[in-house]
Structure 1
């Protein structure tokens, strides 16, 4: 009998991309989990079942994982109060184990071990530990920061010509969200009985200085790096209208990079999918017109 595969968070950006790619890889039953199945009404025509799966609702978790052989748990965005996301993830992991899921996959973050300065690292570390505690075969995908994350800050950087950063000489191997989704779908479709933790990265690591030089070359506008301390970065972000809850998150990202906690580039995307990941140069070229217009 073909195995039944589940993708949670299937109406979110990463989840939907992973689901769409999974449909090209797996010929057996596929289930899309979401808090609001109405958002996935189009899937019925493709033979994909949409189930209500709410990480805050124990009954929906029990039903959502029923009959599932392998499940990809996409991390939620519940950062409204400390501890909520970890509680959600633990509830999902426990429900999956009780339902008899045979292989768990999870989208984590880079290097979330204790000591990470990233403000939400404990959510991912705790989830990884919960998965390991089940004793089930599992695949933990530690996904690097998305190339798409740069879209929020680049218009302002291009307009001002200044890239304020507290990241020092640290490097980030930014990965395309599409590549992270393809890797997750491929790992889910492949299955396996092992227990592995994989760093999902783009093909090259970039310092802020190198990024500024790349942006200068592609957009034809000079961008200089202004090295600042964490406190000054926080003040600058707040003055530019960044929401208060997001300021410490962004500052923690720079500190994390400065301390060398981001993974070096890996070949995981190519190994899982058979295709090289998108380069940062190609990403910026693809968004050149829109970013230049917004600057």
Structure 2
């Protein structure tokens, strides 16, 4: 989820969330949940066989994501469906570094194609705690994200 923070800051600044995959779904997962689950897997005896899909509690559309951002921040961000090229241009003009821009486009593409695995219960099974929701992560980082939206005046 934390990978979304640059885009959330931009959306809070401009009031728009540009998406080339407005109907796509992604099960956003908190970095802390990934770390806790990885640590639990390493401590497990026996180690779980095969691959584990470590995902958030639900797969969200861009609309659901924007709705959560609006609720947590009291914002009025609009979802704006655009082409991949228009999204790339918007992020580039907004000053996103190439690596962050590329990551945002990959997230959109994975969402659009429905390539993200969704595995309900892996985090809770391995750690004993359910994965944190997007809302919980946004509340935790609310102040930092809000402070990042203001431009210092010199």
For normalisation by structure 2, the TM-score amounts to 0.88
Pick from 204, 217, 222: which aligns with 2:71?
A: 217
1:174 Cα deviation after fit: 1.2
Using a 3 Å threshold, how does the CA distance of structure 1 residues 223 and 266 change in structure 2: closer, same or farther? same
The alpha carbon displacement at 1:229 in A equals 0.7
Bigger strand share: 1
1:262 aligns with 2:116: yes
Over 3 Å counting, the alpha-carbon distance change for 1:194 and 1:270 in structure 2 is closer
User: Which is higher, the Rg of structure 1 or of structure 2?
Assistant: 1
More helix by share: 2
Q: What is the 5 A alignment of 1:141-160?
A: 147-160=1-14
Q: Is the 8 A contact 1:205 1:265 kept in 2?
A: no
- Choose from 94, 98, 101 the match for 1:244: 98
CA distance in 2, matches of 1:284, 1:193: 32
> Within 2, Cα distance between the matches of 1:150 and 1:194?
30
**Do the aligned partners of 2:41 and 2:47 also contact (CA within 8 Å) in 1?**
no
Specify whether residues 177 and 211 from structure 1 end up closer, same or farther in structure 2 by C-alpha distance, changes over 3 A only: same
Q: Which structure 2 residue ranges, 5 or more long, are not aligned?
A: 150-154
Could you say what the CA RMSD is over the residues aligned between the two structures, in angstroms? 1.6
Q: Deviations over 1:207-240 (max 9, x none)?
A: 1111111111111110111111111111111111
Deviating beyond 4 angstroms after TM superposition, the runs of 4 or more aligned structure 1 residues are: none
Q: 1:151 to 1:261 in 2, by over 3 A?
A: same
Name the structure, 1 or 2, with higher relative contact order (CA <8 Å, separation 6+). Answer: 2
- What count of residue pairs does the alignment treat as equivalent? 149
Counterparts in 2 of 1:206 and 1:265: CA distance versus 1, 3 Å:
farther
In structure 2, the partner of 1:278 is 132
